[in-house]
Amino acid sequence: MPVKVVIPTPLRQYTGKKDSVEIEARTVGEALAGLTSRYSDLRKHLYNEEGKLRSFVNVYVNDEDIRFLQRDQTPLTETDVISIVPSIAGGSMIRCICS
């Protein structure tokens, strides 16, 4: 059954500029495997050398973090939407000069 995977803007360059793709999958793990099989350059941005999801990559199924579900074994239905959300770090330093 196909499920929708939403691709974040920074990773769209690896999916032919697509903002979402449909992947045949029964679990989150199958969906991500299918996604990285179809778009091989995406793999290094989602997984580390040990094949584990990178710590700064968050995956949600219908707004639920898979870390609080069954992780990559989280089952899917055809109405589910998977969102990949990379953590963004940084900020700016504000300097105040007071007279």
Picking from 15, 23, 6, the residue whose alpha carbon sits closest to that of residue 58 is 6
Chosen CATH of 2-86 out of 3.30.830.10, 3.40.140.10, 3.10.20.30, 3.40.630.30: 3.10.20.30
CB-based contact 53:77 (threshold 8 Å): no
Domain parsing of the chain, residue ranges: 2-86
Picking from 73, 67, 70, 97, the residue whose alpha carbon sits closest to that of residue 85 is 67
pTM summary value? 0.84
What's the confidence (pLDDT) of residue 92? 52
The number of C-alpha atoms within 13 Å of 30 and in the hemisphere containing its C-beta is 15
pLDDT, one tens digit for every residue, the chain (99 residues): 899 999 999 999 999 999 999 999 999 999 999 999 999 999 999 999 999 999 899 999 999 999 999 999 999 999 999 999 988 665 555 554 554
